[in-house]
Amino acid sequence: MQYLQKIFLSFILFSSIAFSQTYTITSTALPGKAFPKIDAERKAKFRVYFPDAKSVTLDGGDGMKSIKSLVSKDKDGFWNISTTPLEIGFHYYWLNVDGKRVNDPNTQLYFGYGQPTSGIEVPSGEDFFMEKNVKHGEIVEDSLNSNITQGKRNFKVYLPPNYGSEKLPVLYLYHGTGEDITGWEKQGFIRQILDNLFAEKKAKEMIVVMDYGVALNPEEENMADDYPRTVLSSKNLNRILTQELIPYIEKKYKTTDKKAIAGLSRGSYQAMLIGASHPEMFSAIGVFSPVIYEGTESDPFKELPIGNLLKSKKKPYFFIGIGEKEEARFFEFNKTLNDFFSQNKYSYTLYSSAGTYHEWLTWRRSLYQFAQKIFK
């Protein structure tokens, strides 16, 4: 009976894939490549050449975990993979080739999961992060030598289209775990998002500094993990930002004294820690898919000085963004923050991203909303 059920389910899956609409090449495919392809129902096709492989399967991040796929190998050594509908948004993925993780040779690579990783963009029908016929800002590479981490730290700076004509406020922005300073530029489309917002006069022009979210000196890099490294790194970032990075930015670029801070996932914790440590310094704090580290049931903010916001004369605007389909733990973090702010009558904004997971469409949408509400 189980065998017949498997045959029936395979037939249903094959039928839904075989009679799908026309496929188009995904935006993340390399120039000249014909795969991956995706159709209007979000079903995808992959075709990769591994002639000696005995097994090839599709794997990936949050938005790829629930899909099913049919895999076949043709006589020319190509493996063909067809899937059930994917979730909207940007998803990291990879191939398991005879048990070894391998990137898809047909796609661009994005830094995720601690290494260059294949990515696929599943269209949502939105264009707020698309390239449009508007004035464009630019993203420049920059760096400083840090006494705190005892080495060079690279970061990126977005300069808006009219940079140079007047002094501008600055948003300091952090990426998530396993990613780096390329994330907001490449997966996040930050330049396109802000260019479009400024052209439509929906947000005030700003400079954005995309800092690296790891900050450990050589001794700390090699220490035993007896103290949470993420918390230690975040506390170091607090010192780097206030003692080194902000002075550097304000000396080199044309800035006002207005500042905001935001981040996604792990970066949300870093934004909260730094922002709550200096509520008089930042006019806004944005957390996208919030995370709270090392909290306990009796003290959820054990390593996070969020209570400083209540004591400060200045009350930074607080924004929380989360995807509707994120894992339960992110909603638990979200509830902890909601309860804290509600119980203490601290005004905040909660944004829910429809139909998205813990991925870049959630964070693009969150940035889009947050950027319109700051520096007013």
Residue extents of the structural domains in the chain: 2-122, 138-371
Whether residue 256 contacts residue 171, with contact meaning beta carbons closer than 8 Å, is answered with no
- Residue 278's SS3 state is coil
* Domain at 2-122: CATH code: 2.60.40.10
Give phi and psi for 67, each to the nearest 5.
-80, 155
Give me the pLDDT at residue 36, please. Answer: 97
pLDDT, mean of each 10-residue run, the chain (376 residues): 45 46 92 96 97 95 86 96 96 96 98 96 96 98 97 98 95 97 98 98 98 92 72 95 98 98 97 97 98 90 94 95 95 96 96 96 98 96
**275 closest CA partner among 266, 284, 264:** 284
Q: What fold is seen in the domain 138-371?
A: Rossmann fold (3.40.50)
pTM of the model: 0.91
Provide CB contacts within 8 A for 5, sequence distance 6+.
Answer: none
Give me the pLDDT at residue 225, please. Answer: 61
Pairwise CA distance, residues 155 & 142, whole Å = 5
Give me the pLDDT at residue 20, please. Answer: 45
Taking CA atoms, 147 is separated from 76, 212, 250, in Å, by 56, 15, 18
Give me the pLDDT at residue 221, please. Answer: 80
Give me the pLDDT at residue 4, please. Answer: 44
